């Protein structure tokens, strides 16, 4: 594959990833499911979500909890383009989050995690995350938004 094409794909995936977290942080994830494949798997720290619908259900549930202030920062993104329809990326998530409205006290990040993603694209459609796996590296002890394994979202 042409090196310029690889760069364009890597940039498109970077933009898609940033748009996803902006959707989550600024819109509560109301449209988060649109960034995942139908058969996506999200291996979150406390549990796994299987399928676009289950992922969207998590964000819908999270909205019912009340005000949530979150800032997901993407750092050290590296994308490997496998083909015109497949890619993988690794990056670090730095999460500041708290229940409530701004302004919240500033402490250590709620979580820092290493992330592995697999991406796919069909035709001229957008790049979609097919698989995301979190490996938590640091936690501050702050309350995270997700239900524990076995709890309903």
Q: Which residues pair with 114 in a beta bridge?
A: 92, 135
Kindly provide the b/e burial profile for residues 21-34, where b requires at least 16 CB atoms within 10 angstroms of the residue's own CB.
bebbbeebbeebbe
pLDDT of residue 150: 47
Neighbours of 19 (CB within 10 A): 14
Name the band, by pLDDT with cuts 50, 70 and 90, for residue 139. very high
pTM of the entire predicted model: 0.92
User: Residue 147 — very low, low, confident or very high, per pLDDT cuts 50/70/90?
Assistant: low
Q: Give the whole-angstrom CA distance, residue 80 versus residue 116.
A: 11
The structural domains of the chain, ordered by start, are 3-139 (3.10.450.50)
State how far the Cα of 26 lies from the Cα of 69, in Å rounded to an integer.
9
State how far the Cα of 49 lies from the Cα of 46, in Å rounded to an integer: 10
């Amino acid at each position: 594959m042409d090196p310029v094409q690889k760069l364009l794909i890597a940039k498109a995936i970077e933009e898609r990833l940033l748009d996803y977290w902006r959707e989550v942080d600024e819109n509560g994830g109301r449209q988060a499911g649109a960034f995942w494949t139908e058969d996506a798997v999200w291996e979150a720290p406390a549990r796994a979500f299987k399928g676009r619908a289950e992922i969207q259900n998590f964000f819908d549930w999270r909205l019912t909890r009340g005000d949530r202030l979150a800032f997901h920062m993407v750092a050290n993104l590296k994308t490997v383009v496998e083909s015109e329809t497949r890619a993988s990326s690794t990056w670090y998530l730095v999460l500041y989050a708290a229940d409530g409205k701004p302004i919240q006290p500033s402490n250590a990040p709620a979580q820092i995690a290493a992330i592995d993603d697999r991406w796919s694209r069909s035709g001229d459609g957008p790049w979609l995350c097919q698989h995301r796996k979190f490996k938590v590296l640091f936690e501050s002890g702050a309350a995270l938004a997700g239900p524990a394994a076995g709890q309903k979202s």
